[in-house]
Amino acid sequence: MPPSVVVVAAIQAAPIYMNLERSLARALDLIAEAAKRRAQLVVFPESWLPGYPAWLDVCRDVAVWDNQQMKRLYAQLHENSVVVPGKVTEALGEAAKRHNLTLVIGVQERVADGAGRGTLYNSVLTFGPDGELLNCHRKLVPTFNERLIWGQGDGSSLRSVETPIGRIGSLICWEHWMPLVRQKLHIDGEDIHVALWPSVKEMHQIASRQYAFEGRCFVVAAGGIMRYSDLPREFEPISSIQADDNEFILNGGSAVIGPDGQYVAGPSFGSEVIILARINLARIREESMTLDVTGHFNRPDLFDFRFKGASDLDQTGQVEIMSQTGLEFASSQSAEALRSTGTESISPLAPEAAPSLRVVSLNRDAGRTGIRNSGFDSSDVQQIENKA
């Protein structure tokens, strides 16, 4: 049985853009810093290794046929993407094991050789505290201009995984607007859902809060930080951009959200931070009294839910997860997520809860190679104000 109270951390910091080796080194430093704060779950934003391809949004003519500059950018991105499994995943797994924590991180994934070696995927990796890679989920449908660089994922990884701190699932960006995708993970019985975003702007905040409310689970929404100065200026389409180097392209917005859809910690915008929050899994059962979309607030006698990508569940490759005859299966999955823990809830409305909600600021050095100070002192800890 997982612990009642879990410490979660959302990393809101920039990688060393388009440099996999240095970004990995920074990721390992950030994981260690979160571990010092007793984090049991550490979450990085979408495509953090080696950085979200924001040039798709800010450069002109990115979709022009035979654009040589875009081809060069793609080639550099491909060179700095992650092979799964490989040396990078081995290092991340070792970090999770060393610090005895669960790790979820967004990466750009490539195939090392053979079929598909020219295709990139927007993926999220989940590691257990034993260092094992529990899941590699590829984003099912790249959003709009992302289709210029990413291929489609399949359904084999659309699942939550069991960890010592509960069942954890994750989705990437606009997958949160796909109702059937959400329902599949709700049926899995998530305790904690990880929502990875380039940045968690207003509509992404809405999607993250809606997911928590609908799924009656905690959501850790992780958003990235990126300035124009982070982009590789050696490429002409980027060097011609008229913008202040310190202006944000991605502005963070990371937050932790409770199963009632209300904020537990954050959101935080415009700075590099580690958002820490203590969450009480007992609240899932409390909030399930009014809503359970896989149980008492569902009509399986009227609607069927079919998932065709779960060959691990059914050898036919097509599973009827929710129907009048399949309700028992769905209910058993939901029940697993609604464990009674018997400890007090942490509420953002309760003044006594404030000490457990912390934002830890990260100092950025000029080279962006890590954290200026190896340790934290009192000036590094900022209190999150309770929201009325």
Strands (E), the chain: 5-12, 41-43, 82-83, 102-110, 120-127, 133-138, 161-163, 166-172, 192-196, 218-222, 225-227, 248-257, 263-269, 273-280, 305-307, 319-322, 357-361, 381-383
**DSSP structural state of residue 148:** G
Catalytic: which of 33, 59, 109, 139?
139
Is 385 part of the annotated catalytic residue set?
no
Q: Residue 335's CB: how many other CB atoms inside 10 A?
A: 14
On whether the CB atoms of residues 188 and 159 are closer than 8 A, the answer is yes
Question: Which helix or strand (DSSP H or E) is residue 246 part of?
Answer: none
Is 46 part of the annotated catalytic residue set?
yes
Catalytic: which of 33, 46, 190, 272?
46
Q: Residue 217 half-sphere exposure, CB side, CA atoms within 13 Å?
A: 31
- DSSP three-state, residue 184: helix
- How many whole angstroms separate alpha carbon 323 and alpha carbon 113? 42
**DSSP structural state of residue 38:** T
- DSSP three-state, residue 75: helix
Catalytic: which of 59, 173, 272, 287?
173
Q: Residue 295's CB: how many other CB atoms inside 10 A?
A: 18
State the catalytic residues: 46, 139, 173
